[in-house]
C-alpha cells in the first residue's frame, strides 16, 4: 500500500511556516505524494453541499504545490482536485506545464467537474455543461502540451490556431491525469482519460461500490493502451485505523491519501507519523 497526504493547503496549517515543517517530514516518513484540493470561493453562510465553513483558509493548489516541490526531492505533488470547468484551459495549461517543470516532472494533474453552483456563478463559469466542458478543456490542454507548433484546436467551447506555448511539460504527453468523482460520468472519464482514479472521503464499503462502477464503465468506454493500469487512490472517510487499511487493501486500493485534520502543526506531525507507521509497516 502506498501513502499520500491531502489537505494541508487549507485550515490551521496552511501557512508557509507549517508547510516548511510538514512537507519534508512527510517525504522522510515515506509518503509518496502530497495532494492539494481547491475551492476558489465557498457559500456564506455554509449550507450543503458546501464542504467547509466559508472562513476556512484554502490556498490555491497551483501556488501551494510549487512551494512543496521546492521543499522536497522525490515526493509527487498532485491536485486533488482542480475544478477544471472553472478555469481557462489555455492559461491553466501554461500553469500546469510550469509546475511540472519546476517540480522536475513530479506533478500529477487531478481534475474534477465541481458541484457548488454558487461558486460557479461567482466565477462566471457555466454550471450545467461542466462535464462536457471538462472533457473539451482537457483535450485543448493536451493539444498545447503535445502538438508541434503551430498548435491548433477547434472544439465547441475552445478554439485557437497558429500558436505555441512553452515550456512544455517535462513528462511526455503531459502530467498523469487523476480523475476524481464517484458518479458514472466520472468513472467513464477515469477509464477513458485517467491514469489514476481518486475517491475522496470514501469508506471501504463505498470504495467497493466505486470499483464496481469503474468495472461497469470499462464495459462502456474504451481504455487507451498508453494509459496502462488505472491506479486507485482514496482518502478515507473518518480517522484511519488498521482494520480500514486492511479493508482498503482487500478492495483493491493502491494508495491511501490520509487527511490529518488537526489544529496545530505539532498535532499534524503526530498524525503523519502514526499513519505512516500504520500503512507502511
Mean pLDDT, the chain, integer? 97
- DSSP H or E segment with residue 83: strand 82-83
Cβ atoms of 116 and 49 closer than 8 Å: yes
Q: Is residue 239 part of a domain?
A: no
Q: What is the CA radius of gyration of the chain?
A: 18
State how many domains the chain has. Answer: 1
- The backbone torsions φ and ψ at residue 226, rounded to the nearest 5 degrees and listed phi first, read -70, -15
Q: Is residue 147 part of a domain?
A: yes
Q: Is residue 109 part of a domain?
A: yes
Distance of CA 207 to the CA centre of its chain: 17
Q: Is residue 110 part of a domain?
A: yes
pLDDT range class, residue 224, cuts 50, 70, 90:
very high
Q: Is residue 257 part of a domain?
A: no
Q: What is the pLDDT of residues 126-165, one digit of tens each?
A: 999 999 999 999 999 999 999 999 999 999 999 999 999 9
Cβ atoms of 179 and 150 closer than 8 Å: no
The model carries a pTM of: 0.97
Residue 166 pLDDT more than 90? yes
Would you list the DSSP string of 163-179?
Answer: E---SPPSSTTSSPEEE
Q: Is residue 269 part of a domain?
A: no
Q: What SS3 state is found at 204?
A: helix
Q: Are strands 151-154 and 159-163 parallel, antiparallel or unpaired?
A: antiparallel
pLDDT mean over 218-229: 97
Q: Is residue 267 part of a domain?
A: no
CATH number, domain of 94, equals 3.20.20.30
Q: Is residue 78 part of a domain?
A: yes
**Residues of the domain holding 26:** 7-231
Residue 66 pLDDT more than 90? yes
Q: What is the pLDDT of residues 168-184, one digit of tens each?
A: 999 999 999 999 999 99
* pLDDT value of position 127: 98
Percent of the chain at pLDDT > 70 equals: 100
pLDDT range class, residue 281, cuts 50, 70, 90:
confident
pLDDT range class, residue 238, cuts 50, 70, 90:
confident
Amino acid at each position: 500500500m502506498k501513502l499520500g497526504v491531502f489537505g494541508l493547503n487549507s485550515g490551521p496549517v496552511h501557512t508557509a511556516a507549517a508547510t516548511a515543517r510538514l512537507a519534508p517530514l512527510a517525504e522522510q516518513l515515506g509518503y509518496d505524494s502530497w495532494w492539494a484540493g481547491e475551492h476558489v470561493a465557498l457559500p456564506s453562510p455554509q449550507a450543503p453541499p458546501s464542504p467547509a465553513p466559508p472562513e476556512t483558509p484554502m490556498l490555491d493548489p497551483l501556488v501551494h504545490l510549487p512551494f512543496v516541490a521546492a521543499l522536497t526531492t522525490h515526493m509527487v505533488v498532485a491536485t486533488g482536485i482542480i475544478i477544471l470547468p472553472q478555469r481557462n484551459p489555455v492559461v491553466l495549461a501554461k500553469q500546469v506545464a510550469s509546475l511540472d517543470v519546476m517540480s522536475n516532472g513530479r506533478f500529477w494533474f487531478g481534475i474534477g467537474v465541481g458541484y457548488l453552483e454558487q461558486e460557479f456563478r461567482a466565477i462566471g463559469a457555466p454550471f450545467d455543461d461542466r462535464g462536457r466542458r471538462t472533457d473539451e478543456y482537457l483535450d485543448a490542454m493536451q493539444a498545447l502540451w503535445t502538438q508541434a507548433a503551430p498548435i491548433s484546436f477547434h472544439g465547441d467551447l475552445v478554439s485557437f490556431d497558429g500558436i505555441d506555448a512553452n515550456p512544455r511539460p517535462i513528462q511526455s504527453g503531459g502530467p498523469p491525469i487523476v480523475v476524481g468523482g464517484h458518479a458514472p460520468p466520472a468513472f467513464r472519464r477515469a477509464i477513458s482519460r485517467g491514469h489514476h482514479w481518486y475517491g475522496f472521503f470514501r469508506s471501504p464499503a463505498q470504495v467497493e461500490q466505486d470499483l464496481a462502477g469503474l468495472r461497469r464503465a470499462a464495459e462502456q468506454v474504451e481504455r487507451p493502451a498508453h494509459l496502462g493500469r488505472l491506479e486507485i487512490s482514496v482518502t478515507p472517510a473518518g480517522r484511519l485505523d488498521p482494520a480500514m487499511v486492511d479493508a482498503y487493501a482487500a478492495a483493491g486500493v493502491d494508495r491511501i491519501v490520509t487527511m490529518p485534520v488537526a489544529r496545530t502543526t505539532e498535532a499534524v506531525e503526530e498524525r503523519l507519523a502514526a499513519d505512516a507507521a500504520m500503512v507502511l509497516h
